[in-house]
């Protein structure tokens, strides 16, 4: 009996870095420049953001993700001008100071365009092109990777996981139609974005089913509210819960994990990789 063919995801170039999918799990460190960040780690000036980025790299981060608008439930959107004021100087400074790529966490094409001009080498769209499809054109024209997140804050699921996969597949097709290279697409199931606690747990448990999309998977569970609901703990006490989701996520196919506690989650990822992918040679 013939075995099933092995599906390889290839590699994605991000600035000077090359992410070889399947070889190990990559670590994305979160740099928030929104004062109302849900995780309580919002930074208020460029020098603090650079210092945090340098610490993340020293701790093993493979890239950093800069966001200027809180994504916590109930948060108010900021203007484009305010997001640009927060994000662009930080991206520019980090791109000069760090040896790893900088990603910009935005769903607005104006912000993405200026951030890429300032040195961002990845676009992380938390609306999966639903809010602003022009982001895909920017990613295609600039040749940068694009993270597509499934965001359910504007709709209701009827059949949860199949619809989540279908929604991500639609975002992938929009990106492809705009000319984004296949190897520059990354998918994110969007833990916390309009999902219930039970649905977020189900995402981590069923993450391997996203492999049907044929693209690397980014998982962002760090400090999120579903962990707080399960453990009945505030945001500053969700470290162990986050570690559990990272380890199980890697076992179920995560290729990138987006985290706040970089040094500790690097160790969780390396141990998980040794079990799932084999010890480093």
| Domain ranges for the chain | 25-276
**Both structure tokens of 130:** 């639903």
Asked if residues 48 and 56 have their Cβ atoms less than 8 Å apart, the reply is no
Q: What is the pLDDT of residue 3?
A: 45
Q: Is the pTM of this model over 0.75?
A: yes
pLDDT at residue 276, as a whole number: 96
Is 195 a residue of the active site?
A: no
- Which residues are CB-contacts of 204 (< 8 A; sequence separation ≥ 6)? 191, 219, 221, 245, 248, 249, 252
Specify the pLDDT at position 35. Answer: 76
Q: At 146, which helix (H) or strand (E)?
A: strand 146-149
Tokens of 20: 């070889």
Is there a catalytic annotation at residue 224? yes
Question: Which residues make Cβ contacts (< 8 Å) with residue 63, sequence separation at least 6?
Answer: 14, 17, 26, 27, 28, 29, 100, 101, 102, 103, 122
The set of residues, in sequence order, having a beta carbon less than 8 Å from that of 124 and lying 6+ positions away, is 65, 67, 103, 104, 105, 106, 147, 149, 188
| Sign, Cα dihedral of 224, 254, 31, 149 | negative
Instruction: Point out the catalytic residue in the list 224, 238, 267, 270.
Output: 224
- The three-point CA angle 120-60-90 to 5° equals 30
- Give the active site residue among 258, 267, 270, 277: 258
User: For residue 16, how far is the Cα from the chain centroid?
Assistant: 19
CATH 3.40.50.720 fits 25-276, yes or no: no
Q: How far apart (Å, rounded) are the C-alpha atoms in residues 1 and 68? A: 53
Q: Quick one: pLDDT at residue 40? A: 46
**pLDDT tens by residue, the chain, 281 residues:** 444 444 689 999 999 999 999 999 999 999 999 875 544 455 668 999 999 999 999 999 999 999 999 766 666 788 999 999 999 999 999 999 999 999 999 999 999 999 999 999 999 999 999 999 999 999 999 999 999 999 998 788 899 999 999 999 999 999 999 999 999 999 999 999 999 999 999 999 999 999 999 999 999 999 999 999 999 999 999 999 999 999 999 999 999 999 999 999 999 999 999 999 988 77
85, 123, 86: which is closest to 101 by C-alpha? Answer: 123
From CA 189, how far away is CA 256, in angstroms rounded? 12
Q: Label residue 89 exposed, middle or buried (CB < 10 Å: 0-12, 13-18, 19+).
A: middle
Q: How far apart are CA 71 and CA 77, in angstroms?
A: 9
């Amino acid at each position: 009996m013939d075995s099933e063919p092995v599906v390889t995801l290839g590699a994605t170039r991000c600035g000077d870095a090359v992410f070889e999918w399947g070889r190990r799990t990559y670590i994305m460190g979160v740099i928030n420049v929104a004062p109302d960040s849900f995780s309580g780690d919002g930074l208020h000036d460029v020098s603090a953001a650079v210092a945090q980025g340098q610490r993340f790299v020293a701790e093993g981060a493979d890239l950093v993700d800069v966001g200027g608008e809180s994504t916590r439930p109930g948060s108010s959107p900021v203007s484009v001008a305010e997001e640009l004021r927060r994000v662009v100087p930080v991206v520019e400074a980090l791109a000069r100071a760090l040896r790893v790529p900088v990603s910009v966490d935005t769903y607005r094409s104006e912000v993405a365009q200026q951030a890429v001009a300032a040195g961002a080498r990845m676009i992380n769209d938390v609306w999966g092109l639903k809010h602003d499809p022009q982001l895909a054109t920017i990613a295609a024209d600039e040749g940068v990777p694009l993270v597509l997140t499934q965001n359910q804050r504007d709709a209701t699921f009827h059949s949860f996981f199949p619809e989540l996969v279908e929604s991500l597949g639609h975002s992938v097709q929009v990106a492809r139609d705009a000319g984004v290279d296949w190897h520059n697409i990354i998918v994110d199931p969007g833990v916390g974005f309009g999902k219930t606690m039970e649905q977020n747990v189900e995402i981590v448990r069923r993450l391997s089913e996203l492999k049907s999309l044929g693209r690397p998977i980014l998982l962002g569970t760090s400090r999120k509210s579903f962990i707080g609901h399960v453990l009945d703990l505030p945001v500053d006490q969700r470290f162990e819960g986050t570690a559990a989701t990272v380890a199980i996520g890697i076992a179920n196919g995560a290729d990138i994990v987006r985290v706040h506690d970089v040094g500790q989650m690097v160790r969780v990822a390396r141990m998980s990789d040794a079990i799932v992918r084999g010890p480093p040679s």
